[in-house]
Each structure stands twice: as structure tokens, then as C-alpha cells.
Structure 1
Amino acid sequence: MMNDEYNTTELNDSEDAVAEEIDDREAMIDGANAEQEAMIAQEVVEQERAHTEETTEPEAITEAREPSLSPEQEKVIQQEKMGGIESVKKILDKARVAFLTTVSGKQLLSRPMYMQKREFDGTLWFFAKSDSPKVEDIRRDSRVNVLFAEKDYVSLSGRAEIVENDLKKKMYWGKTLEKYFETDYNDPDIVLIKIDALSAQFWEKPGSLDSLFNRVDPISEGEGITVEF
């Protein structure tokens, strides 16, 4: 009986040794597989990096250089600019009615507007009802154009904003506006449209508005002058 117990113990020890050897081999295989996977992953990364370096062209480095102007040239340009601004001021001093163009959806809309008389300093002012389509257009898109066309012609491009400040409205208010709107300046339904001009194009020519627009090519007698503010 003791021999049977000894044999059983020896058999169990042998089975344990075999199981331990199997575990060791599996661990070695797992380790080898992990190491092999890491090596493969590294090779893939290196191949992708090499492919990127081959296909990517180096960006061309360019240096933008503005043509240098002499002091005399800069002086002439500045004088022309100031002269153009003065010409625009003179034309606007005589103008009262303008055509305000706004971006309305996918189209442009123009309507006549009565400009508030004030020395032009690069800004134009108009009164409007707060619920008018032009105000709604400006709230959505501030880009506008203002056209004055009588004997002389001025087209100003710029940005508009809606001003609701009562003190500012009071500065430009008058009896004519009170009669037209049938209310006072402090009415919340009345707003100011402030337009900051960014550029202006003008023609100073003799003739009426009709003669200007009845020409086949109104610019053929001389290109207008553009002024950047």
C-alpha cells in the first residue's frame, strides 16, 4: 500500500512538472509573439515615415517685398489722396439724397435715403425705422454702398452699423425728420445707420443726372478716381 501511495505522489509530481513546462513554453511563445508584434509595428511606422518624407515636397519659402518708394513718390501719393478726399467732401457738401445698397439674401437692394447734413469725415449718417428691411439687412451683413449722383458722382463702399443711442440721435435730429417719421428722436423704433466709408470713387463732370446715365459708356470720357480712406 505504501508503494501505491509513493507511485501516486510521484505521478502527481510528474504531472505538475509537465504542466509547469507547458506554462513556461506558452509564456515564452507569448513573449516572442509580443516582441515580434512590436517589431512589426515599428517597421510599419518607419515605412510610413519614409513614405511621407519621399512624397512631401518642401514648402517654397518666399519673401514678399513691397516696392520701395522714394520720399518724393510717397509725398505725391499722399497729396493725391488728400486731394481726392477733399473732392469727395465738396461733392457731398452739395448732396442730400443718396442711394443706399445693402446685401439682402442673395441679391443687392438699393433705396433712396436722406443724408443727415454734416461735414464729411469718413462717416455717413441716416435715420431709419428699426424694423425696416434695410436695417435687417445691415444687422445680417454690414457691407454697404452709398451712391450720390447728381451733376457729380460719388460711390462710397464701407461698413454699416445700427446705432440706438438717444444722445447720438439727438445730434442729427431735426424738424424735418420729426415731420417725416411723425415721432421724436427718443422713439425706440427710430435708429441711426452709421456708415464708415472704406473707399470712394468719384467723377466730377458737367451735366445732369439724366445725361450721365443716358450715355452708352459714362466712363468713356475719363475713368473715375478711387480714394482709399
Structure 2
Amino acid sequence: METAHNTSLNKLKSLIDNGDIAMLCTLRDDHIHSRPMATSDIDVDGNIWFFTNEYSPKVDEVENNKNITLCYTDHTNNKYVCINGIASVVSDRSKMEELFNSSVKNFFPEGMDDPRLALLKVRPKHAEYWDSHSNSMVHFMGILGSSLTNQQSLGGEHGEIDL
């Protein structure tokens, strides 16, 4: 039997299934700092995993404030997702071995022996999404039509997911 949590988790996974890159947003001093991150995995519990440099500023930012935002964009399928969650730095070697692949080696040439290698784990709490279900021109025409008629466009789906 599927629970409400599993339904929400499956919805989130379907929205970001083509999202290899997320913009990770953290708080640095008094402003938001964003950078692209390659998604390594979304596990069965919904945690989103990234490899990171243990000595990078983002690690300090996460340790100072674990509340982060991830933004995924899938232009091909017109899906846009923002996820608010709790981040933590993980140094679990067995998890690193499970997720390590050749694309990670591009960033960490020493592979699993790279002393900088760490994982960033994000536990999603809330997500907001826009899924237009149509190509850009159809979506644009819907927006244009809604602005002319002063009615909301029916060109897609907008929703929120609590996890």
C-alpha cells in the first residue's frame, strides 16, 4: 500500500528524473550563494546525494545553516522544481563507493583516494514545481492568452509537495 509520503516522493522523483544538475543555494553571511551541483543519486528515502569538496565554502555554509534550496530545470520537458531541505556533509566511504562513477572522477582525479572527497546529503522537506506538459511555444501562447483575457493560463500544472 502506497502512503502519502511515498506518493509525494514518487511525484518529486518524476519531476527531477531528467535533472542531472541542480542549483544549490546556501546562505553565506547575509546573502544567498548558488552554484551548480551534479546530482549523484536520489535514494529510496528521497535523500538527494551530491559529491563535494570537503574543504569548499559550501561545506562551511551548510555547517552554519543546514537549510538549503535546490533548483532543477528541465527545459526539454518544461519542468521546473525548487526543493527546500536540510543538508549535511557525509564522509561514509561505503556510500561514496556506491555512488562513485567516471563523471565524479572528472572533479576528483584521485578518485576514492582524493582527500577532499565528501558527500552532501539533502533531505527534502518541501518542493514547489511547475510542469507545463507542452512545448515552449504552446506554453507561451497560453501565457499570452491569459494576459489578454485576464484569466489564469491552463498551460500546465503548478503544485507543492510536503515530504
Same fold (TM over 0.5): yes
What is the CA–CA distance in structure 1 between the aligned matches of 2:128 and 2:44, rounded to whole Å? 15
Post-superposition offset of 1:119: 4.9
Aligned position for 2:35: 111
How many residues in Structure 1 have an aligned counterpart in Structure 2? 145
Q: Deviations over 1:11-49 (max 9, x none)?
A: xxxxxxxxxxxxxxxxxxxxxxxxxxxxxxxxxxxxxxx
Aligned position for 2:105: 178
CA contact (8 A) 1:89 1:119 kept: no
Structure 2 stretches lacking a partner, 5+ long: 145-151
1:191 matched to 2:118? yes
What is the CA–CA distance in structure 2 between the aligned matches of 1:173 and 1:82, rounded to whole Å? 26
CA contact (8 A) 1:100 1:147 kept: yes
Identity of aligned residues (%): 23
Q: TM-score, normalised by structure 1?
A: 0.56
Decide which of 12, 21, 25 is 1:101's aligned counterpart.
25
Task: Please provide the CA RMSD for this pair.
Answer: 2.6
1:87 matched to 2:19? no
Determine helix, strand or coil for the equivalent of 1:128. strand
Greater share of helix: 1
After superposition, the Cα gap between the structure-2 partners of 1:202 and 1:184, relative to the gap in structure 1 and judged at 3 Å, is same
Determine helix, strand or coil for the equivalent of 1:116. strand
What one-letter code is carried by the residue in structure 2 that aligns with 1:145? T
Q: How does 1:31-46 map to 2 (within 5 A)?
A: none
CA contact (8 A) 1:128 1:190 kept: yes
CA contact (8 A) 2:26 2:34 kept: yes
Structure 1 stretches lacking a partner, 5+ long: 1-77
Decide which of 139, 158, 162 is 1:224's aligned counterpart.
158
CA contact (8 A) 1:158 1:196 kept: yes
1:122 matched to 2:46? yes
What is the CA–CA distance in structure 1 between the aligned matches of 2:49 and 2:124, rounded to whole Å? 11
Determine helix, strand or coil for the equivalent of 1:108. strand
CA contact (8 A) 2:23 2:36 kept: yes
Post-superposition offset of 1:87: 2.4
Aligned position for 1:134: 58
CA contact (8 A) 1:169 1:186 kept: no
Greater share of strand: 2
Post-superposition offset of 1:180: 2.6
Post-superposition offset of 1:118: 4.0
Q: Deviations over 1:127-182 (max 9, x none)?
A: 11111111111011111000101220111101100011211111110111113321
Q: TM-score, normalised by structure 2?
A: 0.77
Work out which structure has the larger RCO, using CA pairs closer than 8 Å and 6 or more positions apart in sequence: 2
* Higher alpha-carbon Rg: 1
